[in-house]
Amino acid sequence: MSLQKNDQLQFSASAAESVGSGSEEFTVTVYTENQIGLLNRIAIIFSRRKINIESLNTSPSEVEGIHRFTIVINETEEVVRKLCRQIEKQVEVLKAYFNTADEIIWQELALYKVPTDEIAEKVKVERLLRKYGARAVVIRKDYTIFEATGQREETDKLVKVLEPYGLIEFVRSARVAIIKASHGFHAKLKEFEKTAPGEEVIENEYLNKQAEVFSM
């Protein structure tokens, strides 16, 4: 989950130094209350530090009444860890996790609108669609809408493939991701609701990592 290896990186004095060096893609998952204005509170944590959000999705979570943000950024682990602490500091945020691509299962949804006559005439297209796992959502006389879910490269490839056949519109959703190691939020929320939450809720990265912390 969000427990990270305790690297010996020192925070560089200038944010500029860390850009580009050692940055990788992180998916940040934030559990929050459903509150007007919270999206702004979270978004400005990134914009204040001039960090670009690659993708942002908000949705309900496995727990009723609790919302879940999925945010994708390219940064160093050091910076992402600090961002998550700033996010967790917001009053209405319950928890923020960050994960690399190998720690999550993620998908994006893409929609493609193409002229129906082109599709009907050219059998090749149908074969390509099958190859890319796309399916027709709407078929009308004038246009057809296909849907594909997958990772970025897959949905991008289908754009390239459909372009020669007069792709009219293309749109792709933000990323949604499931954390492989997560046990969900039900048990945690119960802890949060207690006046004095148990230690397992206070997921300070140092906790239970004594040996690593103190070996410095």
Min CB(114)–another protein separation in Å: 39
Residue 95: how many other CB atoms lie within 10 Å: 20
Min CB(54)–another protein separation in Å: 22
The alpha-carbon radius of gyration of the chain (Å, integer) is 21
The tally of CA atoms less than 13 A away on the side-chain side of residue 85 is 9
Window 66 to 105, contacts with another protein (CB under 8 A): 81-82, 85-86, 88-89, 91-94
The DSSP secondary-structure symbol of 204 reads -
Strand runs (DSSP E) across 91-175, as ranges?
A: 93-100, 104-115, 135-139, 143-150, 169-172
Residue closer to another protein, measured from CB, 40 or 100: 40
The number of residues that bind another protein (CB under 8 A) is 39
Of the candidate residues 15, 22, 24, 44, the single one contacting another protein (CB under 8 A): 44
Min CB(216)–another protein separation in Å: 5
3-class secondary-structure state, position 134? coil
Of the candidate residues 120, 178, 181, 213, the single one contacting another protein (CB under 8 A): 213
Residue closer to another protein, measured from CB, 140 or 215: 215
**Which x/- pattern over 7-26 shows residues binding another protein (rule: CB under 8 A)?**
--xxxxx-------------
Min CB(174)–another protein separation in Å: 22
Assess contact for 143 and 167: CB atoms under 8 A.
no
Min CB(189)–another protein separation in Å: 7
Residue 206 found at the interface with another protein (CB under 8 A): yes
Of the candidate residues 15, 22, 40, 181, the single one contacting another protein (CB under 8 A): 40
CA separation for the pair 141, 123 (Å, rounded): 17
3-class secondary-structure state, position 66? strand
CA separation for the pair 26, 173 (Å, rounded): 17
